[in-house]
């Protein structure tokens, strides 16, 4: 069975410049960024399982490795969030 590559988009919400997309994602609060990496990890893990079920072991293995790295990134960003949280201002101070 030949995979349908058309389901894989080359842009997200109209953003085709991956550097711009990376900057947008990188500007998320660390807590949201950590959650994003967790969800991306889950998605890549599901893709790996589908590829493995369709006999694409090498691809599945690489996707599993990528998912593990995303999980690692999620944990590291969560730790960064825990470190920076006490210094984060949650609302703007009132104007004098």
DSSP summary character for residue 8: S
What is the Cα–Cα distance from 76 to 15, expressed in whole angstroms?
27
pTM score, whole prediction: 0.81
Does residue 17 fall inside a structural domain?
A: no
Question: Residue 4, exposed/middle/buried by CB under 10 A (0-12, 13-18, 19+)?
Answer: exposed
Whole domain around residue 59: which residue ranges? 29-86
Q: What is the pLDDT of residues 7-49, one digit of tens each?
A: 778 888 889 999 999 999 999 999 999 999 999 999 999 999 9
Does any domain span residue 12?
no
Q: Which residues pair with 12 in a beta bridge?
A: 15
Q: Is residue 24 part of a domain?
A: no
pLDDT of residue 76: 97
Name the CA dihedral angle for 24, 50, 61, 8, rounded to a multiple of 10 degrees: -30
């Amino acid at each position: 069975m030949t995979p349908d590559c058309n389901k894989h988009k080359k842009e997200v919400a109209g953003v085709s410049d991956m550097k711009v997309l990376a900057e947008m994602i990188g500007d998320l609060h660390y807590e949201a960024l950590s959650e994003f990496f967790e969800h991306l990890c889950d998605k890549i893990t599901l893709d790996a399982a589908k590829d493995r079920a369709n006999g694409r072991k090498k691809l599945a293995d690489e996707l599993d490795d990528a998912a593990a790295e995303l999980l690692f990134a999620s944990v590291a960003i969560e730790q960064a969030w825990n470190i920076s949280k006490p210094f984060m201002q949650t609302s703007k101070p009132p104007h004098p």
